[in-house]
Structure 1
Amino acid sequence: MKKNQIISVLAAWLLLVTGMVQAQQNKSLHQLQQQFVDLRFGMFIHFNIPTFMDDDWADPEASPAIFNPKKLDCHQWAAAAKSANMSYGCLTTKHHSGFAIWNTKTTPYNVMNSPLKRDVVKEYTQAFRAQGLKVMLYYSILDTHHKIRPGQITKADIEMIKAQLTELLTNYGDITALVIDGWDAPWSRISYDDVPFEEIYGLIKRLQPNCLVMDLNAAKYPAEALFYTDIKSYEQGAGQHISTDNNKLPALSCLPINTAWFWKADFPTTPVKDADKLVNDNIVPFNKAWCNFILNVAPNRDGLIDNNALAALKKIGQQWKNAGAVSALPAYAAPIISSNMAKFQAANSSWSTDMNIMDFANDDNFRTTWQSNRSVKQPWFEVELNKAQGFNMVTIVEDKARIKKYRLEYNENGVWKPLPSESDDAGRVKIHRFPRVWGNKVRILIDEFSETPAIAEFGVFNEQR
């Protein structure tokens, strides 16, 4: 064999081995979700420019000069998490007012232009890993300083988001999960079309295939399926509570140990939440329901956790030990990450009640419904897609599980054709995935129901597979 041939063979062998190693290292989404819930308990760390103000939502024009934690010690945070038998941390790299606490090249509105002039994200990741703790990062899409808000978003804004996420997922080692906020929530009003979810999701997975993407969107989306997130999230302070009896999805529940997310002047002298209740009302029951509990502990303006919080964390660690893996996650449908092509499109239906007409079934609001008139024996609903286009998924979200038998059809060149009617779920959320078809209309024909049918949202998607 000639020298060039030998080199070619070795190169091919090296590529094969590298590919095999990469395939072994990149876990399936279900494995990653199982590992996440197995972590059981972690520390949320709200520390950013709001720490130095009286409001959790900071003035978007606040000067970087106020960010001056003179005793910042991320090792103290990590030791405190370890004392509570936590297994990870999650730091607010950028909150809603847009101040970045890492050494970013995307904006001058960052920690390197503050009196601290230190990369807090770097110090946090190093400190937590030194204690054997996993590292997660929080990032807000809503950014009032850079005017990334409803009606203002440009292509340049989307590129800045991508650049910031690229920095965070390139320069700080393995990130177990990225917790995203301020995106398609009723209060942020930035849709997954304004900032395209599938593009951002794909970028994150290309940069770090094992990084879970978690959008804090439970205020809008139903609890029975993974809409635009790898992990369901529940913010207790916002009235979002997981059903420990019915949950079947990998989940996270969050709560601050204090009265707010970011540090306030009364925190050192105000009692924190009771350690017994945090263990017995949160960690223990949530873990049994495949839900990880994350407790927010806010460092003060010196960059240290207050003594009363430290004492509570130590007490938690004395009462609760991490027993390792929870029970195996049940089977469930893969996350929905594509844009809903049916949203706000023209709809039609059989006779409906006057206050619940067909337009409510695709208005991007899961709290409104199209409801059939009780006199109709075989109700139907259809949505027009404006033009013939490809799609490979249909979702049906009822207000309650009432529909027993139904058929799905699509219209191609004026002819109605059947779609597979097998669903990944038999509850009120029904997800249908099938080989891509082309059509300009999609409809549901309801053959049997226990009560008058009511559809909250009917979705049509073209997933990238």
Structure 2
Amino acid sequence: MKKMQLSVVLIRMTLAFVFFCIQYTSTAQQPSAPSWAAETAAAKEKRMQWWTHDRFGMFIHWGLYALPARHEWVQNRERITPENYKKYFHYFNPDMFDPAQWAKEAKAAGMKYVVLTTKHHEGFCLWDSKFTDYKVTNTPYKKDLLRSFVEAFRAEGIRVGFYYSLIDWHHPDFVYDGGHPPTPIAKEDREKANAGRNMVRYQEYMRNQITELLTKYGKIDQLFFDFSYAGKGRKEWDSENLLKLVRKLQPDIIVNDRLDLNETTWGWDYKTPEQFMPKEWVKVNGQKVPWETCQTFSGSWGYFRDEYSWKSPEQLVVMLAETVSKGGNLLLNVGPTARGNFDERASERLAALGKWMKFNSPSVYGCTEAPEYFKKPANSILTYNAATKRLYIHVLEWPFKTLLLEGYKDRFKYAQLLQDGSEIRFSTITKSGGHTTETSGENDVMLQLPVQKPNTLVPVIELILE
């Protein structure tokens, strides 16, 4: 018996040592935060509070690629030479650009913040930068687009964010790689073409432009860098110093995760799954983290005249509800035309979203994943507001007359349709008799629903919790 006890003790000590080593190794692999990035978890939560509350934003991809109207990567996809691509620069003149109208459509759709591509991969800048000639003020349009844009969205109470491409297909110091539109295919030819290109000078260019963006336009709420990949990462971008500059200029800004600093806890504020829906709340090292999925109306980000795989308004509402149900934000993209207006297909969907949000926004703003003890009913999505003690059931397939809530007994005191505030009666008693039988488990609740689906894309049932 003593030998057995001794063996058990030795096993426990061994397991404890192994666990300690794993924990120590994991901790050792996490680079400690530099002094300029030091921040408590509570301070970070407070800094991001508006963002995790608002949940819904507008992404805008706009640049020279709106003229060919064949995808924002058209220069890369079709391997267009700089000389041939320059024609779009010479003809860029968005005479219908009305940022006030853009802001009104975003606000009406229920979007609380916006992120605009100040410079996409093509290198063209939408503001009057002192550090390049490849900018909007040298096109026939002549005016700085950012200033009027920022002023218009702020006037509607919408927070402003900037997208900035780390990649630049135009800059003479950006070193050619396989993803560069005019890159020579043969490796030896590419190396020859790279002679004289200098990423250190390009890093300085980026810092100068980021300084302009974060000092000339007032408070900027969000910054979306894009993106790192094999061969171009933290070393090429000088990511730590770039982020240090951002934090110095705009201490409260929220920054995404594409600077190739993902193994740190301080090099990013949120994760950015793109064009797909995570199966659950995004986690890092087993811990839930802030996240935002950026999605398009169709298959491209920039204006694509002949792209027809547009999502329906109902799909978009479901996407929004599902994102919030997993603790995330949705950044939904619009690609304006070369004349500066929203494609009518985009405006139609924004209007449809707005019609739904007008009545159902309480199921989005301030909401998140529901506690585990609330089992999701059939064909539905749950969102939850801890502050108001409300649970929202987004009903994807309207059932006939009843909806069973398993295990909900004594968990809520009132139910109503969010669309019109009309009461939904419920019972916890098994009834039988005549031609009708209703059965449920001991702790289940049966909602009594109208036969006809309410006239909305996705009906929402609000439960006022105990």
TM-score with structure 2 setting the length = 0.58
Native 8 Å contact 1:244 1:286 kept in 2: no
Structure 1 pair 245–42 and aligned structure 2 pair: CA distance change class (3 A): closer
* Counterpart mapping for 1:28-427 below 5 A: 28-53=43-68, 54-57=70-73, 58=75, 59=80, 61=82, 62-63=85-86, 64-146=89-171, 147-149=173-175, 152-182=197-227, 184-186=228-230, 189-216=231-258, 228-236=267-275, 240-245=276-281, 247=283, 248-266=288-306, 270=308, 272-280=310-318, 282-320=319-357, 321-323=360-362, 324-327=365-368
Contact 1:216 1:234 in 2 (8 A): no
Amino acid at match of 2:322: P
The CA distance in 2 between the partners of 1:121 and 1:40, in whole Å, is: 24
Q: Which runs of 5+ in 2 are unaligned?
A: 1-41, 178-193, 372-466
More strand by share: 1
CA contact (8 A) 1:40 1:292 kept: yes
SS in 1 for 2:234: coil
The residue identity in structure 2 corresponding to 1:233 is T
For residues 109 and 311 of structure 2, what CA distance do their matches in structure 1 show?
14
Could you tell me which amino acid in structure 2 is paired with residue 243 of structure 1? K
Say whether the 8 Å CA contact 1:255–1:295 is kept in structure 2: yes
Q: 1:242 to 1:307 in 2, by over 3 A?
A: same
SS at match of 1:294: strand
Q: CA deviation at 1:121?
A: 1.2
Query: Whose Rg is larger?
Result: 2
The structural deviation recorded for 1:309 is 1.3
Distance 2:240 2:47 in 1: 19
Aligned 8 A contact 1:102 1:111 in 2:
yes
> Offset at 1:242?
2.1
Residue of structure 1 in register with 2:394 after alignment: none
Cα 1:74/1:246, change in 2 over 3 Å: closer
Separation (CA, whole Å) in 1 of partners of 2:200 and 2:281: 44
Aligned length: 292
Contact 2:324 2:369 in 1 (8 A): no
Distance 1:98 1:105 in 2: 14
Residue deviations 1:228-254, cap 9 Å, x none?
Answer: 421100111xxx542325641100101
SS of structure 2 residue aligned to 1:200: helix
Percent of paired sites with the same residue: 32
Q: Secondary structure at the match of 2:168?
A: coil
- SS of the equivalent of 2:236 reads coil
- What is the SS of the residue equivalent to 1:157? helix
Name the CA distance, whole Å, in 1 between partners of 2:269 and 2:208: 22
Opposite residue 59 of structure 2, the aligned amino acid is F
Secondary structure of 2:65 counterpart: helix
Is the 8 Å Cα contact of residues 71 and 303 (structure 2) preserved in structure 1? Answer: no
Distance 1:70 1:117, change over 3 A: same
Cα distance, 1:99 vs. partner? 0.5
Deviation per residue, 1:184-229 (Å, 9 max, x gap): 224xx311012211101110000000111113479x968xx85842
CA distance in 2, matches of 1:190, 1:117: 33
